[in-house]
Amino acid sequence: MTAFASIADFEVALARPRNIDGEAQEAARARQMTLTKPAGSLGRLEDIAIFFAGWQSRARPRLDRARAAIFAGNHGVAVHGVSAFPSTVTAQMVANFEAGGAAINALSAAAGLELKIVALDLDRPTADFTAGPAMTPAECLDALNAGAAVVDERIDMIVLGEMGIANSTAAAALCARSFGGTAADWVGPGTGIDTEGVARKAEVVERAVAVHAHAGRSAFETLRRVGGRETAAIAGAAVRARQLGVPVLLDGFICCAAIAPLASDNPAIADHCIAGHCSAEPGHVLLLEKLGLDPLLSLGMRLGEGSGAAVAAGVVRASLAAHDRMATFAEAAVSASL
Ligand SMILES: O=C(O)c1ccc[n+]([C@@H]2O[C@H](COP(=O)([O-])O)[C@@H](O)[C@H]2O)c1
Ligand SMILES: Cc1cc2nc[nH]c2cc1C
């Protein structure tokens, strides 16, 4: 069954998101105060446990089933020489994911995540968005639903990631259309293009913003005009996760750029999301600020494929383990104060 039967269905889900369970959140906050440590001494680990409690509606949240979903797509905009790699690498890397040889295979296994790879019509790249919309409405709705399909109510967390040659150009265009600023604010080296390449990329993004300036600015229109199938899928997965109360861990610049159009429609839409890390792609700092997200890690990573979020999943696991397994002052007969 598809999550979003129509564009209107998706728009309702975006406009009327589920709220956090304040009672579960309060119960988790109260439990934190009873654990054998000075209050607040586990820093952000305490906040993460309270956040998970609120979204999972459980005072002692769990991470028994956590899933990483990596979406892959190809991009017509690649014809402008905006990536250091050819588009054929997208399918080659998907084969590598499936064979178990990529960074995400090692990192998701290390973090105890179930890994799901979703290749989205790789032999049918999106249209070049400097000439017209990247996707038809039907194609974009299909991609949103492909994303939504990886989320179900039995999972305790969804980690989102992507793979797609040239998608850092699409990501920059999504950010520029969602949050304004100049193309130069949002472009960077991606897979490793040189200064000249970055300038070319900025021109491509500027042209895209101009070509679509007349069009509606809804999240759906932005996702379909200048995004890719994998970024639409990430947006669909995030909105579906919100409907089901499943916390989301976001990866790097491209993954967060998929949320930008949603947040420009509804600034509260990323409230159930945690940014796993801050990527080395320069636009990510500004994007995180616009999304109101404070990344868990900053390791200079810029790989994508969910890798930074998978590393951050280890921090989430640590947070929930401490919250669940620590003794209380009463249980351990430790004096709680002077
Ligand atoms: O996650 C990031 O912040 C990130 C930063 C730079 C590059 N990437 C990855 O590199 C690809 C996009 O880079 P490019 O140069 O082909 O646009 C895509 O497969 C992404 O997963 C990812
Ligand atoms: C090799 C390679 C691996 C990737 N993983 C995510 N994006 C990527 C881009 C390239 C080029």
Q: Cα 103–174–234 angle (5° rounding)?
A: 45
Given a cut of 90, is residue 216 above it in pLDDT? yes
CA 329 to chain centre: 38
**H or E segment to which residue 311 belongs:** helix 307-325
Tell me which DSSP letter residue 270 carries. Answer: T
272 lines ligand 1 (CB under 6 A): no
Q: Is 328 helix (H, G, I), strand (E, B) or coil?
A: strand
**Which tens digit of pLDDT belongs to each residue from 1-59?**
799 999 999 999 999 999 999 999 999 999 999 999 999 999 999 999 999 999 999 99
Q: What angle do CA 45, 48, 50 make, to 5 degrees?
A: 110
| Residue nearest atom 9 in ligand 1 by C-alpha distance | 304
Ligand 1 atom closest to the CA of 85, numbered from 1: 16
pLDDT of residue 115: 99
Reading the block at residue 206, the tokens are 């500027």
Contact 302, 281 (CB under 8 A): yes
Task: State the complex-level ipTM.
Answer: 0.99
- Cβ atoms 262, 290 nearer than 8 A: no
Tally Cβ neighbours within 10 Å of residue 327.
12
Ligand 2 centroid – CA 244 distance (Å): 31
CB atoms within 10 A of CB 334: 12
State which H helix or E strand residue 118 sits in: strand 114-119
Best probe residue, ligand 2, of 75, 98, 105, 163 (max atoms within 8 Å of C-beta): 163
Q: Relative to the CA of 192, which ligand 1 atom is closest?
A: 15
Ligand 1 geometric centre to CA of 96 (Å) = 16
Active site residue 114: no
Query: Which ligand is nearest to the Cα of residue 83, counting in written order?
Result: 1
Residue nearest to atom 22 of ligand 1 (CA): 304
What value does the mean pLDDT take over residues 146-165?
A: 98
Atom of ligand 2 lying closest to residue 165 CA:
9
Q: In the predicted model, is pLDDT for residue 161 greater than 90?
A: yes
Write down the pLDDT at residue 1.
79
* pLDDT, averaged across the chain: 98
Whether 245 lines ligand 1, by a CB cut-off of 6 Å, is no
Task: For residue 332, count other CB atoms closer than 10 A to its CB.
Answer: 10
The residues that bridge with 229 in the sheet, in sequence order, are none
pLDDT digits (tens, 9 = 90+) for 104-114: 999 999 999 99
201 lines ligand 1 (CB under 6 A): no
What is the per-residue DSSP string for 62-108? Answer: --SSEEEEEEE--BGGGGG--SSS-THHHHHHHHHHHHT-SHHHHHH
Q: Is the CB of 305 under 6 A from ligand 1?
A: yes
Distance CA 39, CA 199 (A): 50
User: Do the beta carbons of residue 25 and residue 50 sit within 8 Å?
Assistant: yes
Is 96 a pocket residue for ligand 1 (Cβ < 6 Å)? no
Å from CA of 51 to ligand 1 middle: 29
Query: What is the value of pTM for the model shown?
Result: 0.99
Pocket of ligand 1 contains residue 186 by CB under 6 Å: no
Q: How many CB atoms lie within 10 A of CB 86?
A: 11
Alpha-carbon torsion (95, 99, 105, 109), positive or negative = positive
- Degrees (nearest 5) of the Cα angle 171, 221, 242? 75
User: Phi/psi of residue 27, each to 5°?
Assistant: -65, -40
Give the residue from 308, 319, 321 showing the smallest Cα distance to 108.
308
Distances (CA, A) of 68 to 6, 40, 126, 157: 26, 30, 24, 8
Q: Is the CB of 76 under 6 A from ligand 1?
A: no
The pLDDT value recorded for residue 280 is: 98
Q: Which residues pair with 97 in a beta bridge?
A: none
pLDDT tens string 266-300: 999 999 999 999 999 999 999 999 999 999 999 99
Q: For residue range 53-103, what is the model confidence (pLDDT) as tens digits?
A: 999 999 999 999 999 999 999 999 999 999 999 999 999 999 999 999 999
CB 72 within 8 A of CB 118: yes
Q: Is ligand 1 within 6 A of the CB of residue 167?
A: yes
Atom of ligand 1 nearest to the CA of 83: 15
Backbone region of residue 15 per phi and psi (left: phi > 0; alpha: psi in -120 to 50; beta: other values): alpha
pLDDT, tens only, 221-268: 999 999 999 999 999 999 999 999 999 999 999 999 999 999 999 999
